[in-house]
Structure 1
Amino acid sequence: MVLIDPGSSANIMPRVTFNRLEIKPKELKLELLVRAAERELVESFVVVEIHPSYNLLIGRGWIHRVQEVPSTLHQVMRYLSPDRSKVIDIYGDQVTTKECYSVTLKAVGNGKAPI
């Protein structure tokens, strides 16, 4: 699951996701090709030691480059196709979102995650 966060100035990759990629870079910063519908961009990610309920966090830099409009209320990202001929919507999964939120709240309640 990928979290699109219009409030984040950086793209974040949890260390556990990084370990699953089996990449051995010199630093804990890497570039990956990010695909969303008809868009592809190479994005930089900072790898951090956190235990969130998502695999990647993509921030406002990517949001601005693909010129998309996220709606957290409706769990949808909307943007124009690269040739600007059609509107593309990418929908989030409400059930998965609620499950991830619940997992995060439980971790905070158990003292396992910082507030």
Structure 2
Amino acid sequence: MPRDTFDQLEIKPDRLKPTWNPLLRFDGKRAEPIGMVEVAVHTTERVLMESFVVVEIHPSYNLLMGRWWTHRVQGVPSTLHQVMRYLGLDGTKVIDIHGDQVAAKECYSVTLKSAGKGKAPVRSASPK
């Protein structure tokens, strides 16, 4: 969780628990955690308590949900379609959580432009 998101949620700083596990940012540099906090995550019919590591970073997203959370809601993510699909609690309806495709394309475009300046290498893969 970026520090900005933590601040916007107006969580009291005394709820932060210490953590000493360093994280690697997407650019490969270390990010020292400020602490960990438990937050209730509401998704349609479910409310799950999740632990987030709070870090002083400025990404293009508000929260990064991990595999553990995806498994708990029995979600099936599609990065291509920017959606995660899971069944409702009664198992009869499908619930979709949609990503912002415009924002995702903008982030991808910025990454490609940065690669041209030598900041982030882009590799292409060809089918065998």
Please state which band the TM-score falls in when normalised by the shorter chain: 0.7 to 0.9
Give the drift of 1:106: 6.0
TM-superposed CA distance for 1:99, in Å, is 2.2
Instruction: Quote the offset at 1:81 in angstroms.
Output: 0.2
More strand by proportion, 1 or 2? 1
Q: Give the number of the structure with larger relative contact order, counting CA–CA contacts within 8 Å between residues 6 or more apart.
A: 1
Point out 4+ residue stretches in structure 1 off by more than 4 angstroms.
103-111
Deviation at 1:59, TM superposition (A): 0.4
Instruction: Confirm whether residue 16 of structure 1 aligns to residue 4 of structure 2.
Output: yes
Taking the aligned partners of 1:56 and 1:110, their CA distance within structure 2 comes to 28
The answer to whether the 8 Å contact 1:32/1:45 transfers is: yes
Secondary structure of the corresponding residue to residue 98 of structure 1: helix
Determine which structure has more spread, i.e. the larger CA radius of gyration.
2
Which runs of 5 or more structure 2 residues have no equivalent in the other structure? 18-34, 121-128
State TM-score, norm by structure 1: 0.73
Which of residues 82, 92, 113 is equivalent to 1:85? Answer: 92
Any idea what SS the aligned residue of 1:101 has? helix
Greater Cα shift, 25-34 or 50-59:
25-34
Amino acid at match of 2:74: Q
- Distance in 1 (CA, whole Å) between partners of 2:72 and 2:83 is 17
**Could you say which residue in structure 1 is the equivalent of 2:62?**
55
Aligned residue identity for 2:68: G
State the TM-score, normalizing by the size of structure 2: 0.66
Percent of aligned pairs with the same amino acid: 67
Q: Quick check: 1:46 aligned with 2:53?
A: yes
Unmatched tracts of structure 1, length 5 or more: 1-12
Aligned partner letter, 1:64:
H
